[in-house]
Amino acid sequence: MKRELEMFVNGTFVANTTGKWIDVINPSTESVIARMPEGSVEDVQKAIDAADAAQEAWEKTPAVERGQYLRKIAAEIRIAQDELTDIIVQEGGKTQGLARVEVLFTADYLDYMAEWARRYEGEIIQSDRPNENIFLFKKAIGVTTGILPWNFPFFLVARKAAPALLTGNTIVVKPSQQTPINAYMFAQLVEKVGLPKGVFNLVNGRGSVIGHELASNPKVGMVSLTGSVSAGQQTMVSAAGNLTKVSLELGGKAPAIVMDDADLDLAVRSIIASRVINTGQVCNCAERVYVHTKVKDVFLKKLVEGMKQVKFGDPNVTHDLDMGPLIEASSLKAMEEKVAKAISQGARLLCGGHRHGDVGYFFEPTVLSDATNAMDIMQEETFGPVLPVGEFSSLEEAIALANDSEFGLTSSIFTQNLNTAFKAIRGLKFGETYINRENFEAMQGFHAGWRKSGIGGADGKHGLEEYLQTHVVYLETQG
């Protein structure tokens, strides 16, 4: 019998209340491995009500005690890492290596955020009046909600819940309908460590129903979403009625600039790693390459050779892969259409470009040359292992090409010249720039995009402060 998931509301696992189910499919085998309840607006409202009822007492709990709960969850994650890894592989198609990295990184992230318990602070501000003190307090927002994607589903639970809980907020989380099992297991660990009831809640269902209520409910003080631009726009519309704070991590179209003085072997390794990680289904993936005319031919030869060596297949069977399948059938169709359109617009197919096999959503690692910014493949986000390559003759031209995008999440440049690197830093209009390395952020940094890549951000001190609001107090004394 297929595994049947439950929601987690007010410290209790809740069976399906609607009688409707959504199948969870293994993208490597196309088999149904579980089913999750299709929740209702009433389910979400109960979860938000539980979070609201628990919030005041949770905020009064000393921050160091709140952090101790995060540490307990992290410890349980490490104990259950094998089972969690296998589940992420099964429902998301992630390679064994990357799935385990996600699990352990999640545990480390919880520990990292717990360390902020004694560190986040307010301010004392100088007053213009002789007998006055001005204090700026940092306080919890209240009830927060998190809407999760399927590409890093387990880590995103922690990325939203850890800073929220550490700072005294409560949270209601909605996992993706493609990858809900790992979030269900996270809720089991929450129950196991005895987190107070209502502090963490988990609801399942379709984004159009569940997501709208999570953003529009008047008891919600902040909604955080990681997803597509369209999902972010819908979230903003839903939140607008109550002027609810939104934090959005949306799409990306990361450019990689390869200068004529670059270490080409390093550039090829880093760009391939940044393109095929999670089968290219990562918002900060390298999505388009601009290579200097002087080294274009040598670079393309090395790039094609490297992409042809990418090992892919069913991660449930083979553990030493570079990438697995795409998440669903529609993603496979989208890759085929994007490659065909790029070719029709003048790009040249150098390798890949087709579905692999008849079972599972596998797509070959693909390289397209002669790409220009007039082509859709260089402008539209491509969530798959397809890499278009264009060229340039000057750094100024490369920066202009890179900035010619509606997105502004991540970028990279490969050069051995420090002046070139800093000129790129000054010119690139992106939330992140990686120099001579692959695209992968650190938990102590700040992951935030410009333009249509999002509002707000996550990680580090600045990500923690997304979950805080200020309270300024003017205290005037006598004499």
Q: What residues act catalytically?
A: 249, 283
Tokens encoding 221? 């003080």
Please report which residue ranges of 324-417 form alpha helices under DSSP H: 329-344, 395-403
Residues in contact with 456: Cβ distance below 8 Å, sequence separation at least 6, in sequence order: 224, 246, 247, 248, 448, 466
In angstroms, what CA-CA distances link 99 with 15, 36, 79, 85, 439? 28, 21, 15, 5, 17
Cα separation, 84 vs 103, whole angstroms: 7
Q: Comparing C-alpha atoms, which of 159, 180, 198 is closest to residue 38? A: 180
CB 136 within 8 A of CB 165: no
Pairing of strands 7-9, 12-14: antiparallel
CB 296 within 8 A of CB 290: no
Where b means 16+ CB within 10 Å and e means fewer, 352-377 reads: bbeeeeeebbbbbbbbbbbbebebeb
Residue in the structure block whose two tokens are 């997803």? 227
CB 7 within 8 A of CB 203: yes
Cα separation, 96 vs 82, whole angstroms: 10
Residues in contact with 340: Cβ distance below 8 Å, sequence separation at least 6, in sequence order: none
What is the identity of the amino acid at 90?
Answer: Q
